[in-house]
Amino acid sequence: MREIARVAVETRGDVAVARIEGEIDMSNAQAIGDRLRSELTNRSRALIVDLEPTTYLDSSGITLLFGLVDELRRRQQELHVVLPADSPLQRVLSIVGLDQAVPLHETLESALDRAH
């Protein structure tokens, strides 16, 4: 089975930054969610999900993002999403209202500024 997405996570202070390269669909959304959750501690302030290199996101990926919003709010933590204006995912995430649920940032630097 080929890998359709790579998740690279780094910690910057009390913020976890996850860069997802490739496709998020029903075959890997659960595993990606588990990986993202495993990076958070009780001391984490926020999780930044960088979708800049993400090329595809189906309803499973959208459900994952909304699930993270709810989980992090319950833990008094924040979710920030990096999504450049020219991303093919921009329209889809706007239609489903993710931009109303979490801050969307065009750059990682902007997300880091807001998350700290």
Instruction: Say if strands 15-24 and 46-50 run parallel, antiparallel, or are unpaired.
Output: parallel
Q: Where are the domains of the chain?
A: 5-84+96-115
Stated pTM of the model = 0.95
Structure tokens at 8: 């690279």
Q: List the pLDDT tens digit at each of the 116 positions of the chain.
A: 457 999 999 999 999 999 999 999 999 999 999 999 999 999 999 999 999 999 999 999 999 999 999 999 999 999 999 999 999 899 999 999 999 999 999 999 999 999 98
- What's the helix, strand, coil split of the chain in %, to 5? 40, 30, 35
Domain 5-84+96-115 has CATH 3.30.750.24: yes
Residue bearing tokens 């499973």: 60
